[in-house]
Amino acid sequence: MSGGIDPARHYIGGQWLAEGALGDSLNPADDTVLGQYHAGSAALTDQAARLARETFFASSWAHAPRQRAQALFEFADRMEAVKDRIVDLIVAENGKLRAEAMGETLGAISEVRYYAGLARNVRGTMQETLPGQMSLFHREAAGVAGIIVPWNAPVTLLIRSLGPALAAGCTCVLKPAQQTALTHALILSCLDACPSLPKGVVNSVNENGVAVGQAMVASPDVDVISFTGSSATGKKIMAAAAQSLKRVGLELGGKAPAVVFADADLDQAVRELTHGALTMAGQICVAAARFLVQESILDSFQARIKAAFEAVRVGPGADPSSQMGSLIDRANVARVQGLIDRAADEGDMVLRGKALNTGAFLTPTLFRIDDVRSPLVQDELFGPIVSIETFADEAEAVAKANATVYGLAASVFTQDLARAMRMSRAIRAGTVWLNCHMRLSAEGETGGFGQSGLGRLHGPEGLHDFLETKHVYMEQGRI
Ligand code: NAD
Protein backbone atom coordinates (compact mmCIF):
# COMPACT_ATOMS: atom_id res chain seq x y z
CA MET A 1 0.00 0.00 0.00
CA SER A 2 1.47 3.37 -0.96
CA GLY A 3 2.16 6.17 1.50
CA GLY A 4 0.52 9.45 2.32
CA ILE A 5 -0.20 8.53 5.93
CA ASP A 6 2.34 10.55 7.96
CA PRO A 7 2.42 13.40 7.24
CA ALA A 8 -1.12 12.89 5.96
CA ARG A 9 -1.18 14.23 2.42
CA HIS A 10 -3.94 15.25 0.05
CA TYR A 11 -5.00 12.73 -2.58
CA ILE A 12 -5.94 14.09 -6.01
CA GLY A 13 -6.14 12.12 -9.23
CA GLY A 14 -4.32 9.20 -7.58
CA GLN A 15 -1.37 11.40 -6.54
CA TRP A 16 -0.34 12.12 -2.93
CA LEU A 17 0.25 15.86 -2.61
CA ALA A 18 2.38 17.38 0.17
CA GLU A 19 1.09 20.96 -0.10
CA GLY A 20 0.27 23.41 2.67
CA ALA A 21 1.41 24.04 6.23
CA LEU A 22 1.89 21.09 8.56
CA GLY A 23 -0.43 20.62 11.53
CA ASP A 24 -0.05 18.16 14.42
CA SER A 25 -2.26 15.19 15.09
CA LEU A 26 -2.49 14.77 18.88
CA ASN A 27 -3.25 11.85 21.18
CA PRO A 28 -5.93 13.14 23.58
CA ALA A 29 -5.08 10.44 26.13
CA ASP A 30 -1.55 11.73 26.81
CA ASP A 31 -1.10 14.93 24.75
CA THR A 32 1.68 13.39 22.63
CA VAL A 33 2.12 14.29 18.95
CA LEU A 34 1.18 11.26 16.84
CA GLY A 35 2.11 12.64 13.45
CA GLN A 36 1.35 15.47 11.09
CA TYR A 37 -0.94 16.41 8.23
CA HIS A 38 -0.74 18.94 5.41
CA ALA A 39 -3.53 21.53 5.59
CA GLY A 40 -5.06 22.31 2.19
CA SER A 41 -6.55 25.44 0.67
CA ALA A 42 -9.49 26.64 -1.40
CA ALA A 43 -7.27 26.45 -4.54
CA LEU A 44 -6.43 22.80 -3.88
CA THR A 45 -10.11 22.04 -3.27
CA ASP A 46 -11.01 23.61 -6.63
CA GLN A 47 -8.33 21.47 -8.28
CA ALA A 48 -9.73 18.31 -6.64
CA ALA A 49 -13.33 19.18 -7.59
CA ARG A 50 -12.34 19.92 -11.21
CA LEU A 51 -10.50 16.61 -11.47
CA ALA A 52 -13.47 14.75 -9.96
CA ARG A 53 -15.76 16.38 -12.52
CA GLU A 54 -13.46 15.54 -15.44
CA THR A 55 -13.27 11.94 -14.23
CA PHE A 56 -17.04 11.73 -13.93
CA PHE A 57 -17.47 12.61 -17.61
CA ALA A 58 -14.30 11.07 -19.06
CA SER A 59 -14.52 7.63 -17.40
CA SER A 60 -17.17 4.92 -17.65
CA TRP A 61 -17.45 4.78 -13.83
CA ALA A 62 -21.01 6.19 -13.69
CA HIS A 63 -22.19 3.54 -16.16
CA ALA A 64 -20.29 0.50 -14.86
CA PRO A 65 -22.15 -0.98 -11.86
CA ARG A 66 -20.24 -4.26 -11.86
CA GLN A 67 -16.91 -2.43 -11.84
CA ARG A 68 -18.16 -0.27 -8.96
CA ALA A 69 -19.18 -3.37 -7.02
CA GLN A 70 -15.78 -4.94 -7.67
CA ALA A 71 -13.95 -1.77 -6.57
CA LEU A 72 -15.99 -1.65 -3.35
CA PHE A 73 -15.26 -5.32 -2.59
CA GLU A 74 -11.54 -4.64 -3.14
CA PHE A 75 -11.78 -1.62 -0.82
CA ALA A 76 -13.41 -3.73 1.92
CA ASP A 77 -10.68 -6.39 1.55
CA ARG A 78 -7.89 -3.78 1.79
CA MET A 79 -9.46 -2.31 4.92
CA GLU A 80 -9.86 -5.75 6.44
CA ALA A 81 -6.19 -6.53 5.79
CA VAL A 82 -5.10 -3.50 7.86
CA LYS A 83 -7.97 -3.39 10.33
CA ASP A 84 -5.72 -3.52 13.40
CA ARG A 85 -3.73 -0.52 12.13
CA ILE A 86 -6.96 1.37 11.50
CA VAL A 87 -8.20 0.54 15.00
CA ASP A 88 -4.91 1.58 16.62
CA LEU A 89 -4.96 4.91 14.77
CA ILE A 90 -8.60 5.65 15.70
CA VAL A 91 -7.82 4.93 19.37
CA ALA A 92 -4.69 7.09 19.27
CA GLU A 93 -6.21 10.09 17.45
CA ASN A 94 -9.72 10.02 18.86
CA GLY A 95 -9.31 8.60 22.39
CA LYS A 96 -12.17 6.10 22.17
CA LEU A 97 -11.94 2.52 23.48
CA ARG A 98 -10.28 -0.15 21.36
CA ALA A 99 -13.54 -2.15 21.38
CA GLU A 100 -15.43 0.93 20.10
CA ALA A 101 -12.81 1.51 17.39
CA MET A 102 -12.95 -2.16 16.38
CA GLY A 103 -16.76 -2.02 16.21
CA GLU A 104 -16.52 1.10 14.06
CA THR A 105 -13.97 -0.47 11.70
CA LEU A 106 -15.74 -3.82 11.29
CA GLY A 107 -19.05 -1.99 10.80
CA ALA A 108 -17.49 0.16 8.07
CA ILE A 109 -16.01 -2.87 6.27
CA SER A 110 -19.40 -4.57 6.40
CA GLU A 111 -21.06 -1.41 5.07
CA VAL A 112 -18.67 -1.17 2.10
CA ARG A 113 -19.66 -4.75 1.18
CA TYR A 114 -23.35 -3.88 1.64
CA TYR A 115 -23.05 -1.02 -0.89
CA ALA A 116 -20.97 -3.22 -3.20
CA GLY A 117 -24.08 -5.41 -3.42
CA LEU A 118 -26.44 -2.47 -3.91
CA ALA A 119 -24.22 -1.03 -6.69
CA ARG A 120 -25.51 -3.81 -8.94
CA ASN A 121 -29.11 -3.10 -8.10
CA VAL A 122 -29.53 0.60 -8.99
CA ARG A 123 -32.61 0.37 -11.18
CA GLY A 124 -35.13 2.69 -12.77
CA THR A 125 -38.73 1.99 -13.67
CA MET A 126 -40.85 2.03 -16.82
CA GLN A 127 -44.45 3.08 -17.40
CA GLU A 128 -46.70 3.02 -20.47
CA THR A 129 -48.99 5.95 -19.75
CA LEU A 130 -51.18 5.44 -22.84
CA PRO A 131 -50.87 2.73 -25.51
CA GLY A 132 -47.56 3.27 -27.30
CA GLN A 133 -46.47 6.12 -25.03
CA MET A 134 -43.47 4.89 -23.10
CA SER A 135 -41.82 6.58 -20.13
CA LEU A 136 -38.47 5.32 -18.82
CA PHE A 137 -37.39 6.61 -15.41
CA HIS A 138 -33.62 6.23 -15.12
CA ARG A 139 -31.72 6.49 -11.86
CA GLU A 140 -28.42 8.20 -12.72
CA ALA A 141 -25.39 9.19 -10.69
CA ALA A 142 -25.81 12.79 -9.51
CA GLY A 143 -22.23 13.81 -10.48
CA VAL A 144 -19.55 14.94 -8.04
CA ALA A 145 -20.26 14.35 -4.34
CA GLY A 146 -18.52 16.52 -1.73
CA ILE A 147 -18.29 14.57 1.53
CA ILE A 148 -17.48 16.39 4.79
CA VAL A 149 -17.09 14.33 7.96
CA PRO A 150 -16.43 15.00 11.68
CA TRP A 151 -13.86 13.45 14.02
CA ASN A 152 -16.07 11.42 16.32
CA ALA A 153 -16.41 8.32 14.10
CA PRO A 154 -13.98 9.11 11.26
CA VAL A 155 -14.24 5.74 9.51
CA THR A 156 -17.92 4.86 9.88
CA LEU A 157 -19.14 8.33 9.01
CA LEU A 158 -16.90 8.57 5.96
CA ILE A 159 -18.04 5.15 4.71
CA ARG A 160 -21.71 5.93 5.43
CA SER A 161 -21.52 8.62 2.71
CA LEU A 162 -18.70 7.31 0.50
CA GLY A 163 -20.19 3.79 0.19
CA PRO A 164 -23.50 4.89 -1.38
CA ALA A 165 -21.82 7.71 -3.37
CA LEU A 166 -19.49 5.22 -5.10
CA ALA A 167 -22.24 2.59 -5.47
CA ALA A 168 -24.42 5.20 -7.20
CA GLY A 169 -21.60 6.08 -9.63
CA CYS A 170 -20.57 9.48 -8.30
CA THR A 171 -17.00 10.72 -8.19
CA CYS A 172 -16.00 12.30 -4.90
CA VAL A 173 -14.07 14.97 -3.05
CA LEU A 174 -13.58 14.19 0.64
CA LYS A 175 -12.72 16.40 3.59
CA PRO A 176 -11.75 14.77 6.89
CA ALA A 177 -11.74 16.50 10.26
CA GLN A 178 -8.25 17.71 11.19
CA GLN A 179 -8.30 15.76 14.48
CA THR A 180 -8.40 12.43 12.60
CA ALA A 181 -6.34 13.21 9.49
CA LEU A 182 -3.99 10.20 9.92
CA THR A 183 -6.84 7.70 10.24
CA HIS A 184 -8.40 9.20 7.11
CA ALA A 185 -5.11 8.94 5.20
CA LEU A 186 -4.86 5.23 6.05
CA ILE A 187 -8.37 4.67 4.63
CA LEU A 188 -7.34 6.58 1.49
CA SER A 189 -4.31 4.32 1.10
CA CYS A 190 -6.74 1.35 1.07
CA LEU A 191 -8.69 3.03 -1.75
CA ASP A 192 -5.47 3.80 -3.61
CA ALA A 193 -4.67 0.07 -3.67
CA CYS A 194 -7.94 -0.96 -5.41
CA PRO A 195 -7.19 -1.91 -9.05
CA SER A 196 -10.84 -1.53 -10.15
CA LEU A 197 -11.13 2.04 -8.84
CA PRO A 198 -10.08 4.52 -11.57
CA LYS A 199 -7.73 7.26 -10.35
CA GLY A 200 -9.63 10.52 -9.95
CA VAL A 201 -12.85 8.89 -8.73
CA VAL A 202 -11.94 9.59 -5.09
CA ASN A 203 -10.03 12.74 -4.16
CA SER A 204 -9.38 14.21 -0.74
CA VAL A 205 -8.14 17.48 0.76
CA ASN A 206 -7.17 17.97 4.43
CA GLU A 207 -7.64 21.24 6.28
CA ASN A 208 -7.16 22.91 9.67
CA GLY A 209 -9.94 25.50 9.49
CA VAL A 210 -13.02 25.92 7.29
CA ALA A 211 -11.57 27.10 3.94
CA VAL A 212 -11.63 23.68 2.27
CA GLY A 213 -15.16 22.83 3.39
CA GLN A 214 -16.41 26.24 2.30
CA ALA A 215 -14.70 25.95 -1.10
CA MET A 216 -16.26 22.53 -1.60
CA VAL A 217 -19.74 23.87 -0.88
CA ALA A 218 -19.18 26.86 -3.20
CA SER A 219 -17.60 24.89 -6.06
CA PRO A 220 -19.57 24.79 -9.33
CA ASP A 221 -17.92 21.41 -9.97
CA VAL A 222 -19.62 19.77 -6.95
CA ASP A 223 -23.24 18.64 -7.41
CA VAL A 224 -24.09 17.20 -3.99
CA ILE A 225 -22.84 17.84 -0.46
CA SER A 226 -23.09 15.00 2.03
CA PHE A 227 -22.32 16.52 5.42
CA THR A 228 -22.10 14.99 8.87
CA GLY A 229 -21.49 17.37 11.77
CA SER A 230 -23.16 19.87 14.02
CA SER A 231 -26.50 21.54 13.30
CA ALA A 232 -24.82 24.97 13.47
CA THR A 233 -22.40 24.04 10.66
CA GLY A 234 -25.19 22.27 8.76
CA LYS A 235 -27.17 25.52 8.65
CA LYS A 236 -24.16 27.41 7.27
CA ILE A 237 -23.63 24.75 4.62
CA MET A 238 -27.27 24.79 3.57
CA ALA A 239 -27.23 28.59 3.29
CA ALA A 240 -23.99 28.55 1.28
CA ALA A 241 -25.22 25.73 -0.97
CA ALA A 242 -28.26 27.83 -1.88
CA GLN A 243 -26.00 30.06 -3.99
CA SER A 244 -25.55 27.25 -6.51
CA LEU A 245 -28.75 25.36 -5.56
CA LYS A 246 -26.55 22.42 -4.68
CA ARG A 247 -28.30 19.44 -3.17
CA VAL A 248 -27.45 18.75 0.47
CA GLY A 249 -27.73 15.71 2.69
CA LEU A 250 -27.29 16.73 6.32
CA GLU A 251 -26.69 14.36 9.25
CA LEU A 252 -26.59 16.74 12.20
CA GLY A 253 -26.71 16.97 15.96
CA GLY A 254 -29.03 15.22 18.38
CA LYS A 255 -30.33 15.23 21.94
CA ALA A 256 -31.71 11.72 22.26
CA PRO A 257 -34.29 11.21 25.02
CA ALA A 258 -34.49 7.79 26.71
CA VAL A 259 -37.98 7.31 28.15
CA VAL A 260 -38.17 4.87 31.08
CA PHE A 261 -41.66 3.77 32.17
CA ALA A 262 -42.44 2.32 35.62
CA ASP A 263 -43.02 -1.14 34.14
CA ALA A 264 -39.59 -1.29 32.46
CA ASP A 265 -37.04 -3.98 33.28
CA LEU A 266 -34.77 -1.62 35.24
CA ASP A 267 -31.69 -3.86 35.06
CA GLN A 268 -31.98 -3.85 31.28
CA ALA A 269 -32.69 -0.09 31.13
CA VAL A 270 -29.70 0.78 33.33
CA ARG A 271 -27.37 -1.53 31.39
CA GLU A 272 -28.51 -0.17 28.01
CA LEU A 273 -28.47 3.46 29.07
CA THR A 274 -25.06 3.32 30.71
CA HIS A 275 -23.73 2.08 27.39
CA GLY A 276 -26.07 4.32 25.37
CA ALA A 277 -24.97 7.48 27.19
CA LEU A 278 -21.26 6.83 27.71
CA THR A 279 -20.15 5.14 24.47
CA MET A 280 -17.41 7.34 23.00
CA ALA A 281 -17.61 9.40 26.21
CA GLY A 282 -21.01 10.67 25.07
CA GLN A 283 -19.50 12.22 21.94
CA ILE A 284 -21.89 10.59 19.53
CA CYS A 285 -24.90 12.20 17.92
CA VAL A 286 -27.31 9.44 19.02
CA ALA A 287 -26.05 9.19 22.63
CA ALA A 288 -28.77 9.00 25.28
CA ALA A 289 -28.60 12.58 26.49
CA ARG A 290 -31.82 12.93 28.53
CA PHE A 291 -33.21 10.26 30.86
CA LEU A 292 -36.99 10.81 31.07
CA VAL A 293 -38.17 8.73 34.03
CA GLN A 294 -41.71 8.04 35.25
CA GLU A 295 -42.13 9.76 38.63
CA SER A 296 -42.98 6.60 40.59
CA ILE A 297 -39.59 4.98 39.84
CA LEU A 298 -37.38 8.07 39.98
CA ASP A 299 -35.63 7.13 43.23
CA SER A 300 -34.85 3.54 42.28
CA PHE A 301 -33.79 4.42 38.70
CA GLN A 302 -31.64 7.30 39.86
CA ALA A 303 -29.87 5.21 42.51
CA ARG A 304 -29.13 2.43 40.04
CA ILE A 305 -27.95 4.59 37.15
CA LYS A 306 -25.79 6.63 39.52
CA ALA A 307 -24.13 3.45 40.80
CA ALA A 308 -23.60 2.24 37.22
CA PHE A 309 -22.08 5.56 36.08
CA GLU A 310 -19.84 5.70 39.16
CA ALA A 311 -18.52 2.22 38.46
CA VAL A 312 -17.36 3.07 34.92
CA ARG A 313 -13.54 2.94 34.72
CA VAL A 314 -12.35 5.97 32.74
CA GLY A 315 -8.95 5.58 31.11
CA PRO A 316 -6.92 5.29 27.90
CA GLY A 317 -8.72 3.66 25.00
CA ALA A 318 -5.74 1.38 24.42
CA ASP A 319 -5.99 -0.07 27.98
CA PRO A 320 -8.31 -3.12 27.88
CA SER A 321 -9.51 -2.42 31.43
CA SER A 322 -10.89 1.03 30.47
CA GLN A 323 -14.68 1.27 30.10
CA MET A 324 -14.82 4.85 28.82
CA GLY A 325 -12.13 6.67 26.85
CA SER A 326 -11.16 10.32 26.66
CA LEU A 327 -12.84 13.34 25.15
CA ILE A 328 -11.38 14.59 21.86
CA ASP A 329 -9.24 17.27 23.54
CA ARG A 330 -8.72 19.30 26.70
CA ALA A 331 -10.69 22.24 25.29
CA ASN A 332 -13.76 20.00 25.28
CA VAL A 333 -13.06 18.90 28.87
CA ALA A 334 -13.06 22.59 29.88
CA ARG A 335 -16.25 23.19 27.86
CA VAL A 336 -18.09 20.30 29.56
CA GLN A 337 -16.80 21.36 32.99
CA GLY A 338 -18.48 24.73 32.35
CA LEU A 339 -21.72 22.87 31.62
CA ILE A 340 -21.33 20.88 34.87
CA ASP A 341 -21.02 24.15 36.83
CA ARG A 342 -24.14 25.44 35.14
CA ALA A 343 -26.02 22.20 35.88
CA ALA A 344 -25.04 22.53 39.54
CA ASP A 345 -26.54 26.05 39.57
CA GLU A 346 -29.72 25.29 37.63
CA GLY A 347 -30.50 21.74 38.77
CA ASP A 348 -29.49 19.18 41.42
CA MET A 349 -26.18 17.42 40.97
CA VAL A 350 -26.57 13.64 41.23
CA LEU A 351 -23.02 12.69 40.19
CA ARG A 352 -20.38 15.31 39.46
CA GLY A 353 -17.83 14.52 36.76
CA LYS A 354 -14.16 15.20 37.46
CA ALA A 355 -11.20 15.66 35.14
CA LEU A 356 -8.32 13.21 35.60
CA ASN A 357 -4.80 14.53 36.12
CA THR A 358 -3.57 13.56 32.65
CA GLY A 359 -5.12 13.66 29.20
CA ALA A 360 -8.61 14.76 28.12
CA PHE A 361 -10.44 12.53 30.60
CA LEU A 362 -13.64 13.41 32.41
CA THR A 363 -15.73 11.06 34.56
CA PRO A 364 -19.53 10.97 33.99
CA THR A 365 -22.03 13.54 35.25
CA LEU A 366 -25.74 13.12 36.08
CA PHE A 367 -27.99 15.99 37.10
CA ARG A 368 -31.70 16.42 37.88
CA ILE A 369 -33.57 19.22 36.14
CA ASP A 370 -37.25 20.04 35.65
CA ASP A 371 -37.12 23.10 33.39
CA VAL A 372 -37.41 21.70 29.87
CA ARG A 373 -36.65 25.15 28.44
CA SER A 374 -33.17 25.25 29.99
CA PRO A 375 -30.30 25.23 27.45
CA LEU A 376 -28.98 22.25 29.43
CA VAL A 377 -32.02 20.32 28.16
CA GLN A 378 -32.38 22.02 24.79
CA ASP A 379 -28.75 22.03 23.58
CA GLU A 380 -26.53 19.17 22.50
CA LEU A 381 -23.88 18.89 25.26
CA PHE A 382 -21.71 16.26 23.48
CA GLY A 383 -19.91 14.68 26.41
CA PRO A 384 -20.45 12.31 29.37
CA ILE A 385 -23.19 14.44 30.94
CA VAL A 386 -26.87 13.43 31.13
CA SER A 387 -29.97 15.10 32.57
CA ILE A 388 -32.61 13.22 34.57
CA GLU A 389 -36.15 14.54 34.09
CA THR A 390 -39.50 13.11 35.15
CA PHE A 391 -42.93 12.61 33.63
CA ALA A 392 -46.29 11.61 35.09
CA ASP A 393 -47.96 9.76 32.23
CA GLU A 394 -47.58 8.75 28.59
CA ALA A 395 -48.85 12.07 27.22
CA GLU A 396 -46.29 14.02 29.22
CA ALA A 397 -43.55 11.58 28.21
CA VAL A 398 -44.32 12.25 24.53
CA ALA A 399 -44.50 16.01 25.04
CA LYS A 400 -41.15 16.10 26.84
CA ALA A 401 -39.44 13.71 24.43
CA ASN A 402 -40.46 16.00 21.55
CA ALA A 403 -39.60 19.24 23.36
CA THR A 404 -36.24 20.01 21.68
CA VAL A 405 -35.45 21.20 18.14
CA TYR A 406 -33.65 17.89 17.52
CA GLY A 407 -35.14 14.63 16.28
CA LEU A 408 -32.30 12.22 15.58
CA ALA A 409 -32.91 9.27 17.90
CA ALA A 410 -34.79 8.16 21.02
CA SER A 411 -35.38 5.06 23.09
CA VAL A 412 -38.32 3.74 25.12
CA PHE A 413 -38.21 1.22 27.96
CA THR A 414 -41.45 -0.57 28.85
CA GLN A 415 -42.71 -4.15 28.96
CA ASP A 416 -46.03 -3.08 27.44
CA LEU A 417 -45.66 -3.74 23.71
CA ALA A 418 -48.72 -1.68 22.75
CA ARG A 419 -47.33 1.33 24.62
CA ALA A 420 -43.91 0.80 23.06
CA MET A 421 -45.48 0.95 19.58
CA ARG A 422 -47.62 4.00 20.47
CA MET A 423 -44.52 5.79 21.72
CA SER A 424 -42.52 4.88 18.62
CA ARG A 425 -45.23 6.51 16.48
CA ALA A 426 -45.54 9.61 18.65
CA ILE A 427 -41.83 10.42 19.04
CA ARG A 428 -40.50 12.62 16.23
CA ALA A 429 -37.09 11.07 15.62
CA GLY A 430 -35.38 9.31 12.73
CA THR A 431 -34.64 6.26 14.89
CA VAL A 432 -36.56 4.89 17.89
CA TRP A 433 -35.10 1.97 19.85
CA LEU A 434 -37.40 -0.14 22.02
CA ASN A 435 -35.88 -1.62 25.21
CA CYS A 436 -32.36 -0.87 23.97
CA HIS A 437 -30.29 2.13 22.93
CA MET A 438 -27.85 2.65 20.08
CA ARG A 439 -28.15 -0.17 17.58
CA LEU A 440 -26.77 0.97 14.23
CA SER A 441 -26.26 -1.06 11.07
CA ALA A 442 -25.55 -0.66 7.37
CA GLU A 443 -29.08 -1.88 6.65
CA GLY A 444 -30.95 0.59 8.85
CA GLU A 445 -31.49 4.15 7.64
CA THR A 446 -30.40 6.98 9.97
CA GLY A 447 -31.29 10.64 9.76
CA GLY A 448 -33.08 13.40 11.50
CA PHE A 449 -36.41 15.06 12.00
CA GLY A 450 -36.29 18.81 12.71
CA GLN A 451 -32.85 20.34 13.13
CA SER A 452 -31.15 16.94 13.20
CA GLY A 453 -30.89 16.98 9.44
CA LEU A 454 -32.17 16.31 5.95
CA GLY A 455 -32.24 13.00 4.10
CA ARG A 456 -31.19 9.53 5.20
CA LEU A 457 -27.94 7.57 5.09
CA HIS A 458 -27.36 3.80 5.53
CA GLY A 459 -29.71 1.31 3.89
CA PRO A 460 -31.13 1.51 0.36
CA GLU A 461 -32.25 5.11 0.99
CA GLY A 462 -28.61 6.06 1.49
CA LEU A 463 -28.29 5.92 -2.29
CA HIS A 464 -30.95 8.58 -2.87
CA ASP A 465 -28.73 11.54 -2.04
CA PHE A 466 -26.37 10.49 -4.83
CA LEU A 467 -28.87 9.72 -7.61
CA GLU A 468 -30.95 11.81 -9.99
CA THR A 469 -34.10 10.60 -11.73
CA LYS A 470 -34.26 11.19 -15.47
CA HIS A 471 -37.47 10.78 -17.44
CA VAL A 472 -36.95 9.54 -21.00
CA TYR A 473 -40.14 9.58 -23.06
CA MET A 474 -40.75 7.93 -26.39
CA GLU A 475 -43.70 7.50 -28.74
CA GLN A 476 -43.70 3.88 -29.88
CA GLY A 477 -46.76 3.88 -32.07
CA ARG A 478 -49.67 1.48 -31.67
CA ILE A 479 -49.50 -2.11 -32.75
P1 NAD B 1 -18.58 20.41 13.11
O2 NAD B 1 -19.87 20.79 12.53
O3 NAD B 1 -17.82 21.43 13.88
O4 NAD B 1 -17.57 19.90 11.98
C5 NAD B 1 -17.91 18.85 11.09
C6 NAD B 1 -17.08 18.98 9.82
O7 NAD B 1 -17.47 20.19 9.14
C8 NAD B 1 -15.57 19.08 10.05
O9 NAD B 1 -14.91 18.36 9.03
C10 NAD B 1 -15.33 20.59 9.91
O11 NAD B 1 -14.01 20.89 9.53
C12 NAD B 1 -16.32 20.97 8.83
N13 NAD B 1 -16.74 22.37 8.81
C14 NAD B 1 -16.80 23.23 9.85
N15 NAD B 1 -17.29 24.43 9.44
C16 NAD B 1 -17.54 24.33 8.11
C17 NAD B 1 -18.08 25.22 7.12
N18 NAD B 1 -18.44 26.47 7.42
N19 NAD B 1 -18.23 24.76 5.86
C20 NAD B 1 -17.89 23.49 5.53
N21 NAD B 1 -17.37 22.60 6.43
C22 NAD B 1 -17.20 23.01 7.71
O23 NAD B 1 -18.86 19.12 14.02
P24 NAD B 1 -17.84 18.30 14.94
O25 NAD B 1 -17.66 19.02 16.23
O26 NAD B 1 -16.62 17.93 14.17
O27 NAD B 1 -18.68 16.96 15.17
C28 NAD B 1 -19.60 16.83 16.19
C29 NAD B 1 -21.01 17.13 15.68
O30 NAD B 1 -21.35 16.23 14.65
C31 NAD B 1 -22.07 16.94 16.76
O32 NAD B 1 -23.02 17.97 16.66
C33 NAD B 1 -22.69 15.60 16.39
O34 NAD B 1 -24.00 15.41 16.86
C35 NAD B 1 -22.62 15.65 14.90
N36 NAD B 1 -22.72 14.31 14.34
C37 NAD B 1 -23.88 13.92 13.71
C38 NAD B 1 -24.00 12.62 13.23
C39 NAD B 1 -25.27 12.13 12.58
O40 NAD B 1 -25.27 11.01 12.08
N41 NAD B 1 -26.36 12.89 12.58
C42 NAD B 1 -22.94 11.73 13.38
C43 NAD B 1 -21.79 12.16 14.01
C44 NAD B 1 -21.68 13.46 14.48
Residue 477 has pLDDT above 80, yes or no: no
Question: Separation of 76 CA from ligand 1 center, angstroms?
Answer: 25
Top mutation candidate among 37, 152, 454 for ligand 1, by most atoms within 8 Å of CB: 152
Q: How far, in Å, CA of 174 to CA of 205, rounded? A: 6
Mean of pLDDT over the chain? 97
Question: Which residue is catalytic, options 251, 272, 380, 389?
Answer: 251
Q: How far, in Å, CA of 428 to CA of 419, rounded? A: 16
Pick the residue whose CA is nearest to atom 26 on ligand 1.
150
Question: Separation of 234 CA from ligand 1 center, angstroms?
Answer: 8
Strands 385-391 and 365-368, bridge-based pairing: parallel
Q: How far, in Å, CA of 165 to CA of 206, rounded? A: 20
Dihedrals φ, ψ of 49, to 5°? -65, -40
Top mutation candidate among 178, 180, 214, 228 for ligand 1, by most atoms within 8 Å of CB: 228
Among 133, 135, 136, residue whose Cα is nearest residue 476: 133
Look up the pTM and report it.
0.96
Peptide bond between residue 7 and the one before it cis (omega within 30 degrees of 0): yes
Pick the residue whose CA is nearest to atom 14 on ligand 1.
210
Tell me how many degrees the CA angle 10-11-14 measures, rounded to the nearest 5.
Answer: 155
Question: Separation of 208 CA from ligand 1 center, angstroms?
Answer: 13
Question: Which residue is catalytic, options 100, 207, 285, 380?
Answer: 285
What is the pLDDT at residue 2? 45
Residue ranges around ligand 1 (CB below 6 Å): 148-152, 157, 175, 177, 210, 213-214, 217, 228-230, 233, 236-237, 251-254, 285, 380, 382, 408, 446, 453
Question: Separation of 304 CA from ligand 1 center, angstroms?
Answer: 34
Atom from ligand 1 closest to the CA of residue 285: 34
Pick the residue whose CA is nearest to atom 43 on ligand 1.
285
Q: How far, in Å, CA of 325 to CA of 476, rounded? A: 65
Q: How far, in Å, CA of 70 to CA of 52, rounded? A: 20
Residue 131's contacts (CB-CB under 8 Å, 6 or more residues apart) are: 478
What is the pLDDT at residue 4? 65
Question: By the 8 A CB rule, do 347 and 386 touch?
Answer: no
Tell me how many degrees the CA angle 100-157-423 measures, rounded to the nearest 5.
Answer: 80
Active site residue 194: no
What is the pLDDT at residue 5? 82
pLDDT tens profile 383-431: 999 999 999 999 999 999 999 999 999 999 999 999 999 999 999 999 9
What is the pLDDT at residue 6? 84
**Going from the N-terminus, what domains does the chain have, and what CATH number goes with each?**
10-252+452-471 (3.40.605.10), 256-441 (3.40.309.10)
Active site residue 285: yes
Question: By the 8 A CB rule, do 39 and 178 touch?
Answer: yes
What is the pLDDT at residue 251? 98
Distances (CA, A) of 37 to 126, 207, 312: 49, 8, 34
Question: By the 8 A CB rule, do 472 and 134 touch?
Answer: no
Alpha helices, H only, 59-97: 65-81, 83-94
Q: How far, in Å, CA of 91 to CA of 229, rounded? A: 20
What is the pLDDT at residue 3? 56
Residue 479 has pLDDT above 60, yes or no: no
